[in-house]
Structure 1
């Protein structure tokens, strides 16, 4: 059976060479959006033996009269047959930027034809600022941006669905990340009536351009100024209220901090006063202990402090009533009987002039 198939193939090849199979119409260059499908057609004359599709330099699919030979799931084939021709359609699924290569339809017996595949990326289109109203007969700039395109998109404008003269707008392009581009177009427009303004971005792979639409209302100068005044009035009312609220909050916070600081200082001063009072009390107690609170007639001073003032009787004639014989013992000296009465009178007079309980005055300063 295999021998019969081999003989049939050789016969077909010989017959094709004799009948001179040729490509009637080769593939055409195509534009496809990223992740979409692309298709190429190749029409050959009857009879034919084999058609080979090549991407770049790599064969990706072969077609024989028995059917296609598929080696990669991204590539498929559809065919259309007439009495005199055969058309093979190469289908490329979910194209990527790596598929930007040459596509070739080849016959082993008679030449080849090729075309190019262009994979493109469509991005977003929008207005930088949405202008909803303009002043009557006043020039206004409207800015449109297209982001994330490959290749650079073509930007056009329409007013009330009528194309705007290209001299009324300017467009600049700049590269972005990942082989993408951004475009910025500025339209200078003067309106005398309400209008619908549209910004259109397109590339060859798009069947319809992407559009951003803006509805603009034209107002007389007085009305426009009034609307602006209302806006400023709202701002003038809201901003002071917000400032007053913030000031109140700030004052409350400052008062709380001051109160807390004073409380801390008061506590510190109270502690100092307590410590000073405690030290003063201890000093007073020590002074009283040293002065002898139980016997006010005694003091720690020297006995010389009790010497009589000038003009008083001589010590020889004065009765010495304060003497020491031994520790803790007082003794009155012996006085002759003849002088006893006169010395007693002198002593009584001296005791009346001399204070019995000498005291000290101490000053204590509390901090």
Structure 2
């Protein structure tokens, strides 16, 4: 296994700053997810780690080895950083067999044929692809090609593997299978994995911790899945992760009010607002509100859509439409609301954030 450390790393393309003074530590043997919107710099961060591009400032360590230091002018080339990389498009050679693809990085190390054969076959066993050793990539499914790419990464390094959008091109079933297999491989071998993705759901499912980046290349929050979902550091994190609702609230002397179908209804004491003189919004996720006939907050069902494991609703709440989701279990227990029906709403979890300027 190998710990990874970025210290005050910066990088620009021309005059455009992509990453500035970024620091991040990936623990030994963990799966660290790096997620963020397109263009935030997550792929750039990985290219810096692999040595494909050079930072302007800072240092990078893999284990105890400094692979880059701007001040000390250290810059170990990519082939000597011992990082296994799996790209989004797998990048398996179409004219080589599965076994030959996995052997390819070992040939660069000039190993003898017997040792190469043993190492490559062992890697294929770890991803359950040993019986396909003599197949060509064209004879494999997308998920199988992905496993070959992971096996090739494993022979490059069992210490550190980088997965760059590795399951984007797979269908839902294969994505679930690959997430499970990546986790099983990591448990078996103990490899440190840096997982780059814009797929929030997959990242939350797979990763031990997540680093969430913003459009300016900053890490806005670092934590496990519970921290990210249940304890968002700020409005950006809340809005970025999952589906969110924002509804204007009114601060009065005796509390915070929401505009519902039946007029202004008190939600909370004014103490929930950090600065009551500013404009605030109530923030909640679709599963954070439930139907409750006893609630004084009334809304009207605009649409109701059955999606299998959940039922999706759009609810008119005053002058705002909000989105709610009801689990299949709650539907069985309480029944579904129907279009046009007036419903009472109860917020089981909510946050308050300052209203952003239009």
TM-score bracket relative to the smaller structure: under 0.3
Question: In terms of Rg, which structure is larger?
Answer: 1
Q: TM-score, normalised by structure 1?
A: 0.22
